[in-house]
Amino acid sequence: MIHELQQEKQQDRVMLIGINTREYDAEFSMLELNELAKTANCQVVSTYIQNRHAPEAATCIGTGKLQEIAQLVKTEKINCLIFDTELSGMQMRNISEIADCKVIDRTMLILDIFASRARTAEGKIQVSLAQYQDRMTRLTGMGKALSRLGGGIGTRGPGETRLETDKRHIRNRIAFLKKALAEIEQHRKFLTKCRQKNDFLTVAIVGYTNAGKSTLFNALTNAGVLEENQLFATLDVTARRLLLPDGRTVILSDTVGFIRRLPHHLVEAFRSTLEETAQADLILHVLDASEPDLQERMNLTGQLLNDLGCAEIPQIHVLNKSDLVENIEKKNHSQTVWISAKRNAGIPELLNAIMQNLPQTAERLTLCIPYQNGGFAERIRQEGKIFTEEYTSEGIIVNALIDQKLLAEARQFIIKLEQENDS
């Protein structure tokens, strides 16, 4: 009970404010902002949407409405206003002075959540870089408001002192972080080359945040990645080996989730991580099948994948949370699979689709290798995988996964294809 009271005391009491300019679905966007606020451990006290042709230049929502909100801030003891639209430095200063509380926007909130989620050195550097780049764009016009803005919710972030608002200091920090990130990128490229040299196929899991990517990743690899019903529950990229039923081993990677209007600073900072998806042999596009705006989320992720140069990479649409969907015919085929990662349902069908969509780098065959060619069996062990082995009077009968490099030589020893054997 004491712990719960302390946790409640730490929460920011916030009001969410949106501007409906008809550029996007403001209602859905505000629902998402609400989830983001909860993810940042905020208590949402009130929500307000204003219909406008465009945000007001000085205060975004107009001085009159802002003064009404300022009164509500006092009576409801709200200590933070979160805007669903990007604010300029001048707007943040003006709003903060009138409302007399902390002010952040959607971009700052997302960056703040990323700051709390980053665990690896690379993740922390990427988030800090995005935060400094974002702060640089807001310096003009912020004035005294800087002293009360901090780094976001709970003032997490790359620093809270006025010294760090100095442009030269921020430029130096950005240069330092970019250099550190470049060194990590070089190491990542080295690892990618090693995987390619060893002929490892790679499968990337992508999708809208909270679609169940981490749950699926755990269901396939038993990796123990954090699973929470929150946006951006996991941030750092995780990679594990996955053994397919046909005997092939692939590298499966779980990437950061996407979201509407993902801050461009964040996309730029995480570009090297996201672009690793472009090196994958197959993409698993995970979707929450129970979401009412499923098509919009599919299009958003698809557009970002296209921007990253992934348009030519084979994709499987993985419709997760199928147990929550009723009155829909759930048909599986090579590019679409219905699953429930939480209930481990549909996983065999997904694995089969993965095998169908991956490049054919090996073939499972049954061979009878004469004893005078026994060295070939040893090469199969080194280059592929032997499942069963039997010594007969005619030679060594093996059921094996034969690497493409050995297929031409192996064909003279074929007894039957594995597909024929299965039938």
Residue 24 sits in the same domain as residue 86: yes
Q: Judge if 333 and 402 occupy the same domain.
A: no
Q: Tell whether 287 and 326 lie within a shared domain.
A: yes
Regarding whether 203 and 347 lie in a shared domain, the answer is yes
In a domain, 175, yes or no: no
pLDDT bin (cut points 50, 70, 90) of residue 10 is low
Indicate if 415 and 281 belong to the same structural domain. Answer: no
Q: Is residue 418 part of a domain?
A: yes
CATH classification at residue 391: 3.30.70
Q: Are residues 258 and 399 in the same domain?
A: no
Q: Based on the fold, state whether residues 208 and 340 are members of the same structural domain.
A: yes
Beta strand ranges found along 221-294 (DSSP E): 238-243, 249-254, 282-288
Domain coverage including residue 98: 2-117
Q: In what order do the strands lie in the sheet with 385-391?
A: 385-391, 396-403, 362-369, 414-417
Residue ending a domain, among 318, 333, 357, is 357
Q: What is the per-residue DSSP string for 379-416?
A: HHHHHSEEEEEEE-SS-EEEEEEEEHHHHHHHGGGEEE
396 and 346 within one domain: no
| 217 and 344 belong to one structural domain | yes
Instruction: Please tell me the total count of domains within the chain.
Output: 3
Mean pLDDT is highest, among 5-9, 93-97, 261-265, for 93-97
> In this predicted structure, which of 12-26, 68-82, 135-149, 363-377 has the lowest mean pLDDT?
135-149
Is residue 346 located within the same domain as residue 389?
A: no
What mean pLDDT is predicted for residues 266-274?
Answer: 69
Mean pLDDT, residues 209-219 taken together: 87
pLDDT at 154 over 60: no
CA dist., res. 218 & res. 227, Å (int): 9
pLDDT at residue number 133: 86
Instruction: Let me know if residue 388 belongs to a domain.
Output: yes
Give the pLDDT band of residue 2 (cuts 50, 70, 90): very low
Report yes or no: 138 and 146 within 8 Å, Cβ to Cβ.
no
Listed residues 331, 357, 383: the one ending a domain: 357
Residue of 361 and 100 predicted with greater confidence: 100
Answer with the one of 89, 117, 145 that is the final residue of a domain.
Answer: 117
Highest mean pLDDT among 44-48, 89-93, 231-235, 399-403: 44-48
Q: What is the mean pLDDT of residues 313-328?
A: 90
Residue 387 pLDDT exceeds 80 = yes
- Residue 180 has a pLDDT of 87
Write down the mean pLDDT value for the chain. Answer: 81
Report yes or no: 91 and 59 within 8 Å, Cβ to Cβ: yes
